[in-house]
Structure 1
Amino acid sequence: MQITSKAIAQTRPAFSRASLSFTFLAFVALLWMQTLAAAARGAPATFADLVEQVGGAVVNITTTTKMATPIGPQGIVPEGSPFEDLFRGPNNRQRGPRSASALGAGFVISEDGYVVTNNHVIAGADEIEVEFINGDIFPAKIVGTDANIDIAVLKIDADNPF
């Protein structure tokens, strides 16, 4: 038997319009039911409501890392370079130790001061500080890290729960 283009045009689609319409309506009904269930649980209706509910748990994380200082301007510019003088301090003194700062964000996950952030934010840091939205700043200690999934857990101590 030979199939012609006329025979192909007369074949029925695998799904009828009625079954596609029913599937679409079932999907919309399911989505609507999930929305109602979320509203009943007290889920925020807008992004502003969400920020109002959990905004206090979001913190800024500041890290400081001490950098090794080369003796003299070597390593920055080649010796004898006309720019060599630009990398020395006043009166031809060598510059002192340097430090680098980094910023990141995290979330307080428990009332006793555990904070989750990204590992790359705190990797190699000598000092870590956590700042709350009200301006309170606390030093933090690293509890654990996993560079493979880029996550870190910090601990801050204070008299009041968080």
Structure 2
Amino acid sequence: MTSSPAPSPEPAELPDTELLRLDHQVCFSLQAASRAFGGVYREALRDLGLTYPQYLAMMVLWEHGPLPVKTIGEQLHLDSGTLSPLLKRLESAGLVRRERSTQDERSVTVHLTDSGTDLRARALPVPRAILRATGMSVGEVLALQETLGRLTESLSRAV
């Protein structure tokens, strides 16, 4: 018979000196995981000619069709200063085209080009490759996403 591991102590049960240890910092664990994901995505996206942020923008457009830049930024949690150069590079690559609204000159809508639409078929294997790289089941990944969503909401409320 195997014994189950002892439950981890609650943070309030740990002295401040223990809480200050690097291996107790959830932010560090998330940063390390993010860097590891970056490497896996770089490899998976190499043949598509996309960076990870460009891939995310393309995913939003593949899912929703033409969208205002502002909406894409909201979906990706990116400000216009980060998003505009990214979209400009996608436009230079012939994957999207940006059109200024005739009703509101301040609004720019992003449309997929035929090449951008066609790229979706080549991108279909990427999510499974990433899932395989995690070494986790679909259920584990979905549970992690739910936990990270709650974490993000809590942290957003804290600032």
TM-score (normalised: structure 2): 0.28
Give 1 or 2: higher helix fraction. 2
- Higher RCO by CA contacts (8 Å cutoff, separation 6 or greater): 1
Structure with the larger strand share: 1
TM-score by length of 1: 0.27
